């Protein structure tokens, strides 16, 4: 008689979050379950819609509330690619949760009605939730000293367009939706009791530490626990925002036996402002990481807002974008040009290296099975540098790059003293343009030098053809972007869509 060993599957972690002011406890939620599946299929909340299933259209937008630095932070995110267990310990709002019990609409909803901003209606729940997130962050009156914003801020047309960049309307109804964003603040105010919600979230956080240690979805709260879990479970799928892994679930239908989520690790959720560099934790969201980079280099604002829609930047992390290793990840060309370095950690110690040294091939890195990317060290701006970052994509907002090129030069008395160039979308990995840097260094900053450097840059890479662009197009664009840098260095500005400004409505 043949006997077979009994395989014991890891227990499903109990999921706890706050909705409508009450704690929701859900057991037996599979590790690969998405927030959208949880809402629509498990809880029967069908107000949140499924559109693209890849974080692109925003129809599934919900808002999360989380304690950050002792205050309540609101973030609109895509529920279709966000894993359900990742919202453990947070507050959740859907389009079904924001009206009053007597049916009185929230200002985000009422504004949409008054501005006739809903057409076919399928995208409307997502737009409403992005507006709700804007309302909480910019308009809502505060209640108690723990509120994040002490004063309200008027919503301009430009701000509304930027905040709604992750929501697509297939009926081309953007004008009335932008109108709705601007009139929310003039409607009767609605406030969330921050202090009460904060106290509930704090109790929930305390309960989180007592969660099952042998669960299939591991959500460590400390760096020591993360490294311990990684050593014990080297084959577990590591997630840090899920904006790419979520696509593996929704589009490739992949299932994971174990998931290790680093987004709640306290040490990795902060940015340290050091005298000569920023030390960014791997779990810092893309929105916050770019916020810190923009504070140091204001010219990055346009590039950061085009990185992706805000819901993606609110979920995705800088560490996740880097470790993922996609050749079309936009943060890496910029960080390479900035000479950023990364810190890898394991229970055995840590090692630091230049960011570009992380990659060995397409989505392949030098990280050992028990290592995690923990920190990113970004040198601060210097007075002599001139930095430009260019993103070429089919759609201006909320799209993936065909080519991304970041150029940082130090020109001293008409001569290129130092050059640092990062490129994306033109090789199997994000890459440094080593040959072009070497050619430019020591050369006079003239049009003739630039034209020669354009040829060097084009010859340095052999891009592929795919759905986003042909190889020939990418090669041509590489050189043209260097030429654009030259033209802008000579004072020409009207050659970039970033110079186009929306007019405010009267």
Percent of the chain with pLDDT over 70: 92
Structural contact between residues 332 and 430, judged by C-beta atoms closer than 8 angstroms: yes
Calculate ∠ Cα 352-358-364, nearest 5°.
145
CB 153 within 8 A of CB 135: no
- Cα–Cα distance list, 283 to 170, 269, 372, 404, 417 (Å): 33, 5, 11, 24, 35
* Listed range (157-161, 176-180, 484-488, 492-496) with the worst mean pLDDT: 492-496
- Report the CATH fold assignment for 211-265: 3.30.43
The pLDDT of residue 427 is above 70: yes
pTM: 0.92
Taking residues 166-176, what's their average pLDDT? 90
Indicate whether 111 pLDDT > 50: yes
Query: How much is the average pLDDT of 226-255?
Result: 91
For the cut 60, the answer to whether the pLDDT of residue 237 exceeds it is: yes
Measured distance CA(53)–CA(46) in Å, rounded: 15
How do beta strands 259-261 and 237-239 pair? Answer: parallel
Mean pLDDT of 236-260: 89
Sorting pLDDT into bands at 50, 70 and 90, what band is 143? very low
505 vs 99 pLDDT, higher one? 99
Q: Which CATH number does 386-498 carry? A: 3.30.390.50
Question: What is the spatial distance between Cα 152 and Cα 136, in angstroms, rounded to a whole number?
Answer: 9
DSSP class of residue 425? S
Q: Specify whether the CB–CB gap between 386 and 489 falls below 8 A.
A: yes
Mean pLDDT of 27-38: 93
Q: Higher-confidence residue: 107 or 504? A: 107
Torsion angle of alpha carbons 188, 192, 195, 199, nearest 10°? 170
Residue 208: which of 94, 86, 93 has the closest Cα? 86
Q: Is the pLDDT of residue 2 over 70?
A: no
Q: What is the mean pLDDT of residues 368-375?
A: 97
Helix (H, G, I), strand (E, B) or coil at 406: strand
Domain boundaries in the chain?
A: 15-199, 211-265, 386-498
Alpha helices in 375-446 (DSSP H): 434-440
- So what's the pLDDT on residue 174? 92
pLDDT at 422 over 60: yes
**Helices and strands: H and E segment counts in the chain:** 16, 19
Residue 233 has pLDDT above 90, yes or no: yes
Give the whole-angstrom CA distance, residue 216 versus residue 195.
33
For domain 15-199, the CATH superfamily is Beta-grasp domain (3.10.20.30)
Residue 502 has pLDDT above 70, yes or no: no
- 3-class DSSP assignment, residue 65: strand
pLDDT band at residue 152 using 50, 70 and 90 as cut-offs: low
At a CB cut-off of 8 Å and minimum separation 6, what does 90 contact? Answer: 17, 18, 64, 65, 66, 201
Average pLDDT, the chain: 90
Look at strands 385-392 and 403-412 and give their pairing: antiparallel
Question: What band does 151 get if pLDDT is binned at 50, 70 and 90?
Answer: low
Residue 363 region by backbone torsions, left for phi larger than 0, else alpha for psi between -120 and 50, else beta: left
How many other β-carbons are positioned within 10 Å of the β-carbon of residue 501?
8
Higher pLDDT pick, 125 / 464: 125
**What tens digit of pLDDT does each residue of 313-332 get?**
999 999 999 999 888 889 99
Report residue 11's pLDDT band, with 50, 70 and 90 as the boundaries: low
pLDDT-derived band of residue 337, with 50, 70 and 90 as boundaries?
very high
Q: Is 163 helix (H, G, I), strand (E, B) or coil?
A: helix
Helix (H, G, I), strand (E, B) or coil at 18: strand
Q: Is 142 a residue whose pLDDT tops 90?
A: no
* Closest C-alpha to 477, from 408, 441, 423: 423
- Give residue 501's pLDDT: 62
Average pLDDT of the segment spanning 444-464: 96
Q: Which residues contact 423 (CB under 8 A, 6 or more apart)?
A: 333, 336, 403, 404, 405, 406, 430, 431, 432, 433, 461, 478
């Amino acid at each position: 008689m043949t006997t077979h060993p009994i395989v014991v599957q890891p227990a499903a972690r109990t999921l706890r979050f706050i909705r409508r002011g009450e704690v929701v406890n859900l057991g037996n939620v599979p590790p690969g379950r998405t927030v959208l599946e949880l809402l629509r299929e498990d809880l029967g909340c069908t107000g949140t819609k499924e559109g693209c299933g890849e974080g692109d259209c925003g129809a599934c937008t919900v808002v999360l509330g989380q304690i950050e630095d002792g205050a309540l932070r609101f973030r609109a995110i895509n529920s279709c690619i966000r894993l359900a267990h990742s919202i453990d310990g947070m507050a959740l709002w859907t389009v079904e949760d924001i009206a009053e019990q007597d049916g009185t609409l929230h200002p985000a909803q009422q504004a949409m009605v008054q501005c006739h901003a809903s057409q076919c209606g399928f995208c409307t729940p997502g737009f409403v939730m992005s507006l709700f997130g804007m309302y909480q962050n910019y308009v809502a009156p505060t209640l108690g000293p723990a509120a994040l914003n002490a004063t309200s801020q008027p919503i301009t047309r430009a701000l509304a367009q930027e905040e709604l960049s992750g929501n697509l309307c297939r009926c081309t109804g953007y004008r009335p939706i932008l109108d709705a964003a601007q009139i929310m603040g003039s409607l009767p105010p609605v406030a969330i009791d921050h202090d009460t919600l904060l106290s509930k979230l704090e109790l929930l956080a305390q309960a989180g530490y007592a969660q099952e240690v042998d669960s299939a979805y591991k959500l460590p709260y400390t760096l020591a626990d993360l490294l311990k879990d990684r050593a014990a479970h080297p084959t577990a799928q590591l997630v840090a925002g899920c904006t790419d892994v979520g696509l593996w679930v929704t589009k490739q239908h992949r299932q994971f036996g174990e998931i290790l989520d680093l987004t709640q690790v306290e040490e990795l959720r902060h940015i340290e402002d050091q005298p000569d560099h920023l030390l960014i934790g791997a779990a810092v969201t893309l929105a916050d990481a770019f916020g810190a980079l923009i504070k140091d280099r204001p010219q990055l604002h346009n590039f950061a807002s085009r990185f992706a829609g805000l819901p993606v930047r609110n979920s995705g992390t800088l560490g996740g974008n880097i470790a993922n290793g996609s050749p079309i990840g936009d943060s890496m060309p910029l960080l390479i040009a900035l000479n950023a370095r990364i810190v890898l950690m394991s229970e055995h110690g840590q090692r630091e290296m230049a960011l570009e040294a992380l990659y060995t091939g397409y989505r392949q890195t030098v990280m050992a099975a028990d290592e995690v990317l923990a920190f990113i060290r970004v040198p601060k701006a210097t007075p002599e540098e001139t930095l430009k970052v260019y993103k070429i994509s089919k759609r201006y907002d909320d799209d993936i790059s065909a080519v991304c090129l970041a150029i940082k030069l130090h020109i001293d008395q008409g001569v290129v003293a130092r050059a640092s160039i990062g490129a994306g979308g033109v090789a199997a990995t994000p890459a440094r343009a080593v040959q072009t840097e070497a050619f430019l260094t020591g050369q006079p900053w003239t049009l003739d030098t630039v034209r020669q450097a354009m040829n060097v840059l084009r010859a340095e890479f052999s891009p592929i053809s795919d759905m986003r662009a042909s190889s020939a197009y990418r090669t041509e664009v590489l050189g043209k972007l260097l030429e654009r840098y030259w033209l802008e260095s000579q004072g020409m500005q009207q050659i970039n869509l970033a110079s186009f400004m929306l007019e405010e409505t009267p």
